[in-house]
Amino acid sequence: MKKYLWILVGLGVSFSAGAEIYKHVDPVTGKVTYSDKPDKGSTKVDLVEPVSPGSSEASGSSAKAQTPTPASFPKVEKNEQKDRDTARRKILEQELADEQQKLEEAKQAYAEGESKPEVYRTKDGKVKRSMGRYLEKMDELQSQVDEHQRNVDMLEKDLANLGGGSNNN
């Protein structure tokens, strides 16, 4: 998708303001193609004029004037948004606590797995280690630890992005 975005940006820079670009999505394969000639089923793409670095538009002074909020855009009262944020924070904090518990359990299982090698008895009664099974088991346990650690990291990031302090009522 980024590839197509860069193609559009490149096309927008290279074509004059009067140029028209059409997008066509193949109904069978879903493949997207762009052309300067309309095909059956294609839609016109609105290109935005590039902003030169020295212009007043590039400085951001008129950015709000260029993109006003539509009148039909839903508005949320400040108190309602605060209540939503508080509820979201509580949910994220609970999920974080649950995930931290699962992470500790996974670390504990890993430590136990390390101390218990995979063994088997041969036909003559000798006990031998199965290094292959042991390594498979340890890889699986490590992947569980890694998964829970990633989840903890993402939840902590979400909480940090939510901003504000913890609301423990």
Q: Is the pTM of this model over 0.85?
A: no
Where do the structural domains in the chain lie, given as residue ranges?
A: 2-48, 78-162
Residue at 83: amino acid letter: D
**Within a 13 Å sphere around the CA of 142, how many CA atoms are in the beta-carbon half?**
7
Q: How many CB atoms lie within 10 A of CB 47?
A: 16
pLDDT digits (tens, 9 = 90+) for 114-159: 888 888 788 888 888 888 888 999 999 999 999 999 999 999 999 9
No. of H helices and E strands in the chain?
Answer: 4, 5
Whether the CB-CB separation of 103 and 163 falls below 8 Å is answered with no
SS3 139: helix
